Amino acid sequence: PDHSFVQALLEALDEPLLSSSLLLPDMNEDIFDSEDLFDAVYTYIDLFVDAGYCPLEPTTLLDLTGDHPVVLRQGAGVIDFP
């Protein structure tokens, strides 16, 4: 991801990192404000990092279950395979 905090975390961990979108029960809309997000999740989590603004462009999703990658959603990120 093109974000300084995530890059620093990846460098410090020296391990792959998996992330996911968060779908909250009883929430019908996305939360973009960090204080609102914290209020919605603080009872469920051990750590919350507010690393500032993140672009809202969706990620690219790939299906890697077959013999060849299949693009499920083109978003941020370069796809460099035939």
Ranges of each domain in the chain:
4-73
Average pLDDT, the chain: 84
Higher pLDDT pick, 63 / 26:
63
Tens-digit pLDDT profile for residues 27-67: 778 788 889 889 988 898 888 888 887 777 888 888 999 99
What is the reported pLDDT for 75? 87
Residue whose structure tokens are 């919605």: 40
Q: Give the whole-angstrom CA distance, residue 57 versus residue 72.
A: 15
Helices H / strands E in the chain, number of each: 2, 2
Look up the pTM and report it: 0.56
pLDDT of residue 2: 76
Sequence-distant (6+) residues with CB within 8 A of 79 are: 60, 62, 71
Residue 52's Cα: distance from chain center in Å?
A: 14
